[in-house]
Amino acid sequence: MASAATINDVARVAGVSIKTVSRVVNHEPNVRKLTRERVQEAIVSLNYKPSLAARGLAGKRSFLIGLVYDNPSDSFLVNLQRGILQACREQHYGLALCPSSEAADQISDLLEWTRSTQPDGIILTPPLSDNHDLVDKLTTAGVKFVSVSSAGTGRGPAVYIDEMDAARAMTSHLIAAGHTSIGFIKGPEDHACSALRYSGYCRAFEDAGLDLDGSFVEHGEFDFASGEVAARKLLAYEEPPTAIFASNDDMASGVMHEAYRRGLSIPADLAVAGFDDTPMSRQFWPGLSTVRQPIVQIGHRATELLMSQISNGGPVENDPLVSPENATENDVLPFELILRASTTAET
Amino acid sequence: MASAATINDVARVAGVSIKTVSRVVNHEPNVRKLTRERVQEAIVSLNYKPSLAARGLAGKRSFLIGLVYDNPSDSFLVNLQRGILQACREQHYGLALCPSSEAADQISDLLEWTRSTQPDGIILTPPLSDNHDLVDKLTTAGVKFVSVSSAGTGRGPAVYIDEMDAARAMTSHLIAAGHTSIGFIKGPEDHACSALRYSGYCRAFEDAGLDLDGSFVEHGEFDFASGEVAARKLLAYEEPPTAIFASNDDMASGVMHEAYRRGLSIPADLAVAGFDDTPMSRQFWPGLSTVRQPIVQIGHRATELLMSQISNGGPVENDPLVSPENATENDVLPFELILRASTTAET
DNA sequence: TTGTACGCGTTATCAC
DNA sequence: GTGATAACGCGTACAA
C-alpha cells in the first residue's frame, strides 16, 4: 500500500507551510478562513491522518488514556469501557488497557506501565481506587487520574453513586415488604463500597425503628461461591431470615442457588436482593431485585473529568463561584432501584 | 517529578553509545557480554523505560495491536481481552480497543481507525471476522490481522474451535439421555458459527439414525429476549420437544425463563442446553449444560499468531516441511462439553 | 496571518 | 563490537 500521507504532503498540496496545517488540524486560531478551507481540502483528498506516535513525541500528550482495573466483574468492565470509549471517540483519544497484575507489586507495576505507555491520564477502578497508598504515589508521580469509586475520599476527582443511600433504599424496600429479619452479605474489605453498602443496610433498620441483629451479617468476596457459603450459614439458623440482601449480584446468585437446593421457593420462602444489575439478574428465575448503577455514564463522565484535567494541566478545581456549596456534586450519579420478582409477589 | 530517563541518559551512565543501548534493549546480537551487563545495570539504576511514542516514530512498529469487535457478549469480550493482554504483556505490546461503530459504515470506519492509530496488527472477532468484504479490504490495505472465528474460510489466519463438532456432541448427549424430539434455536445469519452449530445439530440426528423434524428449529439473535420468543413458539406445539438446545447461553436463559413461566420443571419436563459457558450458566438453577470455548486461550493464541505475522512481515505461511498434512492444525482449539443439571437428572 | 528551524527519543545506516 | 549521525512526523519557539 502507498505509505500514508504526512503533514508535509498536505502542506505541499495546499501550498502552505506545515505549521499552518498543524494549526488547522489542532483547531488553533489565526488562520484565514480561505487558507483553512484549502488545507482541509488537501487533508480530505490525501486522506491524511496525523500520526499519534509523532504527536506523542513532539507534543507532550499521547492522546491515550489508560484504564486500570483489578478483576472486576465482566459486565462492570465492559460497560465502563463502553462509556469511556464513547467519550474517547468524541475527543479523538485512544484507550489502552492496564489490567493490574495479579500477585506482583501492583503499585510499582502500574507506575512502570504509565512510564512506558505514557498515557495522558488514567482511570482507576475499585478496589485500586480505594487504595490510598496507590493514589498518593500516583499523585506524587504527577500522573493525572480520576477514580471510579464509591469513596469520595477527597483524594482527587471521582465519579460514583451514593452507595450508602442505594443500599438503604433496597433494605427499606424489603422492610416495607414486611420483612423484619433480613440477612446481609458484605463485600470484601478492600472495596470501599462494602462498608458503605453495609452502613446503608443498618441505616434502613434505624429508619424503621427496628433492632439490628448482627448475627445475620455474613462476609463474602463478591463472587458466586462466597454467596453460596454465606447463604448456607444464614439459612442454617433455627429461625433464618426471610430475606437476604447480598451486596452484589454474583453473591445473590449464590444465595438463590443455595435456597433452591434447600427446596425453598423465591420469593415466597425467601426474598433475595442483589446489587449491580448485571445482565444476569434479569435472566434469573425469578428476576433478581437489584440496584442499577449507571456504569456507562460513569465511564463517560470519568473520562470527561480526566480530559478537562488534562487540558487544564491539573485536577479540576472546585469553583466556589459557580456552585458554592458543593462543586463536585455532578460527580455523584443517580442509582436506580430495580424491583423484580425475587422480592415481590407479582411477576 | 523528575523527567523520565532517556536512552541518552543510559548511554552516558553506562559509558557507551545510544546505539549500543538500543541493541541491548532490543536483544540484538553483537554486544559483548560485559558491555551488555554494564548497560543493563544503568537501565535498572535509572529505571529506564523506552518510550513507545519514540519507538513508533523511528521504527515502523507502534507496539500496539488493536482489538476490533461489534457487540459481543460481555464475558466473551472480557475473556478474549484477558488472553490477548496476557500475550501482549509477554511481548511488551499494548492493546487498543476499537469497538465497531453501530450504524455507520463499519468498514471505512475501521480502516480510518487503523490509519490513525497505526496498530501493528488487529484481531477480528465475529461477526466482523465473517465479513468477507471487510477481510478483503483489510488485506488490500495491507493491514495484518488474525480472525477469531468459526469460519476457517482460508482468508488469513484464524483461531477457533470446531463449532460443528461441538454442537454435534451436545446434541448427541441429549439424544443419549433419551430425547428424540429436540428443539434448536439458531443464531443470526451474519455469524458464521450459526450455520456450523446448526449443521452439528443435524449431524447428530443423522448419527443416531433419527429423523430431523425441521419444524423444531427456530431463529434467534443470540440474546435473552429472542430465546424467550423462540421457546414460546417451540413450547406451543401440541407435542412440544422434550429438550431445547439454544445455540448460545443467553438464548438458553430465555428458554429457561419461558419454561418456568409455564410451570415446567427443568430438566424433568424440559431439558435445556446452551453454548459458550458464560459465568451465568453455572449460576442458574439448575446449572445449564453448555459448551465451553477456551476463549482466553483463543485470545492468547490469536495474539501469538499476529505477533509472528508482524515479525515475519506477512501472514504465517503453512510450513509443509513441519506439518505436511495440516499446518494450521494448531489453530483449532479443543472445546469442552460442560454437563450440568439442566440436562441430567443428578445435581 | 504565516513560515523557519529545532527538538522530542528512538531506530537504522553506515563507517570504524 | 561499537559509535556518529541521519531520519521518523509533528509541535513549538520565534522570526517575518
Reported as a single tens digit per residue, the pLDDT across A269-283 is 999 999 999 999 999
Identify the CA nearest to A202 among candidates A245, A249, A150, A253.
A245
Q: Which three cell numbers stand for residue B290?
A: 453448555
From the CA of A314 to the C1' of D14: give the distance in Å.
Answer: 27
State the average pLDDT over residues B209-233: 92
Residue B103 confidence (pLDDT): 65
**What's the full length of chain A, in residues?**
347
Identify the CA nearest to B283 among candidates A288, A214, A264, A19.
A288
Asked if B284 has any chain A CB less than 8 Å from its own CB, the reply is yes
What pairing do the DSSP bridges indicate for beta strands A158-161 and B158-161?
A: unpaired
| CB atoms inside a 10 Å sphere around CB B181 | 15
Of the two residues B22 and B101, the one the predictor is more confident about is: B22
* SS3 category, A140: helix
CB A183 within 8 A of CB A234: yes
Q: In this model, does residue A1 exceed pLDDT 50?
A: no
Residue A180 confidence (pLDDT): 92
The Cα–Cα gap between A243 and A254 comes to 14
Nearest-by-CA chain B residue for A287: B257
State the average pLDDT over residues A296-305: 95
With contacts defined as CB-CB under 8 Å, which chain A residues touch B285?
A: 256-257, 260, 285
Quick one: pLDDT band at residue A154, thresholds 50, 70, 90?
Answer: low
Of the two residues A174 and B90, the one the predictor is more confident about is: A174
Asked if B60 has any chain A CB less than 8 Å from its own CB, the reply is no
From the CA of A18 to the C1' of C5: give the distance in Å.
Answer: 12
A57 touches strand C (CB under 7 A): yes
State the average pLDDT over residues A68-95: 93
Residue A2 confidence (pLDDT): 55
Q: In this model, does residue A325 exceed pLDDT 50?
A: no
Reported as a single tens digit per residue, the pLDDT across A235-276 is 999 999 999 999 999 999 999 999 999 999 999 999 999 999
DSSP symbols for B117-176: H--SEEEE-TTGGG-HHHHHHHHHTT--EEEESS---SSS-EEEE-HHHHHHHHHHHHHH
Reported as a single tens digit per residue, the pLDDT across A10-54 is 999 999 999 999 999 988 888 899 999 999 999 999 989 888 889
